[in-house]
Amino acid sequence: MVEELITSGRLTPEVDPILHIWGWEIPLYLFLGGFAAGILFFSALFTLQNKENRYPMAVKILPFAVPVLLAIGLGALFLDLSHKFYFWQLYTNIRWESPMSWGAWTLLLVTPLSIVWAASWLEEAFPKFDLRYNWLKEILSDLKPYRKHMAWALIILAVILGMYTGILLSAFNARPFWNSAIMGPLFLTSGLSTAAASVTLLTRNHEERSDFTKIDLLLIAIELFFIIHMFMGFLASTQVHVQAAELFLGGRFTVPFWVWVVGIGLTIPAILEILELRKHHVPIFVSAVLVIAGSVMLRFIVVEAGQASRWLY
């Protein structure tokens, strides 16, 4: 057997022996960004389909969470920067090849638009809330005729935001586990699924709950399909990609990923949702909470595993 022993005199903090430049901030942000994108997508989609009264939670109420989610996510991103007070450089440059730049500009558009979008629903979502100032009420009612335009913009931006959270990672050729084109669609689907699950968790409308349970079930199926294809892709690729997949097929991420993400975060909630749709008595919050927890775990494990996978030479 030919053996290879590599001894390196380098011991750079956060780089050696295993890359660890990104801690909790980036996966948390990827989760919140995907979640926000999912909420905006459904809200905008069902507004365009004139289903705002059929799906009041998804269309009118949940968008109020988006600016909060994005603010927390942006806060986490800011905390991650090591040269913080130069962050404004993101907005003096446009770099088409850099997913990080795409993300920064998308967030600059999505965040204010999500505030305007939620505000346009204020009257319908919270009828008892008194705005006090008439001029503010006038501005809000002036927004309503532009809802369809905003919805179109939001659908496109939500897809870009949801996809980019995965593409940010998949663009790194140097980290074989991230370097899969499936990462973008997988994170988008996971974000949509998180949003759908949170609708089923919070709505009191029976029809909305049942429809979003079906939507979530479909999204979970798509996610499982993507995960299987991602591993098929790795195993059919180069040695470093095979090694990256092996981190999950016997390596140190095997249990966290297959038990926590695929088992508890996808398969069990899918079974519970099927039982619920068949009118069995299942506590509704269990499947929703599991989907959301699985989505968080997916981000943390993928960010961690990507950093642990590398080229060797």
CB 120 within 8 A of CB 147: yes
- Minimum Å gap between C-beta 180 and another protein is 15
Q: Closest Cα partner for 182 from 66, 77, 298?
A: 298
Q: In terms of CB distance, is 146 or 311 closer to another protein?
A: 311
Q: In terms of CB distance, is 89 or 134 closer to another protein?
A: 89
DSSP 17: S
Tell me which amino acid residue 166 is: G
- Minimum Å gap between C-beta 181 and another protein is 16
Residue 169 CA from chain centroid, whole number: 13
Q: In terms of CB distance, is 155 or 171 closer to another protein?
A: 171
Distance CA 158, CA 71 (A): 16
CB 310 within 8 A of CB 174: yes
Distance CA 201, CA 205 (A): 11
**Torsion sign over Cα 265, 268, 270, 272:** negative
Q: In terms of CB distance, is 180 or 203 closer to another protein?
A: 180
Q: In terms of CB distance, is 160 or 266 closer to another protein?
A: 160
CB 179 within 8 A of CB 241: yes
What residue ranges bind another protein (CB under 8 A)?
A: 1-16, 19, 21-22, 80-84, 86-87, 89-90, 92-93, 95, 97-101, 104, 171-175, 238, 306-307, 310-311, 313
- Minimum Å gap between C-beta 263 and another protein is 29
Q: In terms of CB distance, is 53 or 93 closer to another protein?
A: 93
Q: Closest Cα partner for 178 from 189, 167, 186, 170?
A: 170
- Minimum Å gap between C-beta 70 and another protein is 18
The total number of residues written for the chain in this structure: 313
- Minimum Å gap between C-beta 150 and another protein is 27
- Minimum Å gap between C-beta 78 and another protein is 10
